[in-house]
Amino acid sequence: MISRRSQSAVEFMMIVGIAFTLMIPSLFLFQQFSAQSSERIISGQINSFGREMISAVESMYYYGESSKVKVAFNAPEKIQDMYINAGGEGLNEFVITARLYGGETDFVFFTDVPISPEGNMEWSSDLSGGIEPREDAFMSGRMQFSIETVEKDSLKVRIKRLRGE
Amino acid sequence: MLKQKRAQSAVEFLVTYGWAFIMVLGFIGALFYLDVFNFTAMLPDECEFSSEIDCLEKIVVSSSDVGRHDGSIYLMLANNLGTSIKIDGCYVRVPDLEGDDAVFCEDAQGSCGSGDFNISGETWDQGERMFFNFSQCDTQDVGLREGLKRNVYLTIQYHATGSSPDYLHNVTGMVFTRVERPR
């Protein structure tokens, strides 16, 4: 009787042991795959948004004076910064910096349309409302931008972040 | 008499099942030797950059002989940025066991077409393939040993040739592959 009980106990232990042996590597592999696909998704989202922004900027410029459009974006957490490089010589750039693939990567979207640098680099303070933003996430969540043409000396496109609209 | 009988049965038990025990130990040892419990080795090779850079080929080489500094990293990358760029620098790093990054190879020798040159300052045209060769790296210092699979991060600093040289950017990519023996 005792021998029967011990046999079933050993069998139970063996089954549980085999199940754990299969489960632990599977969990490890799943975690790794999930982390990698998450970075790919974020990269895709940033690219899609950047292209949409540049497309809107170019459309507004060619529509001419008094053109305006709003662009919305659901920013993922890994974005650290967003800014415009404009006013220099050559192409203008819309840059999104994200922490991906173990380091900082700038997603740069180029355009030859003149962009007004007005309001540039103020987005982070706009966002936080006086509160220091987290170091690891410049901004995340839904955000809206207005893209409009402004005429000063010449026609330019201005990108502005909208809050509470 | 009873004591002697119990000792005999104990010895018989050991003789009968000792072999089985040794065989089980040997089997477990063979599994360790064959890297069955190295789950990292089961992961597929990766070479991931953001969509601006396309990774076409990757090889990481490091000797297992102590004191040799002949590690190399070879990468074949393509420029997908949509514009020509000028490379301002590039470096390779590996996270050490404490999780801190260790930069261990800063200058790449590049070849794109014919001849060797330092890749910094080179123009990389849209769609063009560029061969990045980081040689004479202290790969052993950061734990890159032959047969292991580790993450290696490459950062390229650049500016677009059509933009101002003041607009510097970084692009970082991750290479995960088995470290090969130097030939």
Contact A45, A74 (CB under 8 A): yes
B55 interfacial to chain A (CB closer than 8 Å): no
What is the H or E stretch that residue B71 is in?
A: strand B71-79
Q: Is A20 on the interface with B (CB under 8 A)?
A: no
CA atoms within 13 A on the CB side of B47: 16
B128-to-A114, B55, B56, B59 alpha-carbon distances in Å: 28, 12, 12, 20
ipTM over 0.85: no
Q: Does A81 touch chain B (CB under 8 A)?
A: no
Residue-level pLDDT at A38: 87
The stretch B86-90 carries a mean pLDDT of 85
For residue range A58-108, list pLDDT tens digits in order: 999 999 888 999 998 888 888 888 888 887 777 888 888 888 888 889 999
Helix (H, G, I), strand (E, B) or coil at B165: coil
Q: How many residues in chain A?
A: 165
B126 at interface of A, judged by CB pairs closer than 8 A: no
| Residues B3-31 pLDDT 10s | 778 888 888 888 888 888 899 899 989 98
d(CA A74, CA A92): 24
| Strand B169-180 relative to strand B53-61, pairing | parallel
pLDDT-based confidence at residue A21 (cuts at 50, 70, 90): confident
Range 83-102 of B in CB contact (< 8 A) with A: 83, 93, 95
- To the question of pTM greater than 0.90 for the whole model, the response is no
d(C-alpha A124, C-alpha A134), whole Å: 10
Q: Are B107 and B92 in contact (CB under 8 A)?
A: no
B147 has pLDDT over 60: yes
Task: Report chain B residues whose CB lies below 8 A from the CB of A28.
Answer: 39
The residue whose two tokens read 């620098």 is B89
Residue-level pLDDT at A132: 43
Confidence class for position A127, pLDDT limits 50, 70, 90:
very low
Taking 70 as the threshold, does the pLDDT of residue A10 lie above it?
Answer: yes
pLDDT at A120 over 70: no
- How far B27 CA lies from chain A's nearest CA (Å)? 16
Residue B181 DSSP one-character state: P
pLDDT at B40 over 90: no
Question: Cβ of B167 and A47 within 8 Å?
Answer: no
Cβ pair B96, B142 in contact under 8 A:
yes
Task: Kindly state whether B111 is in contact with chain A, defined as any CB-CB distance less than 8 angstroms.
Answer: no
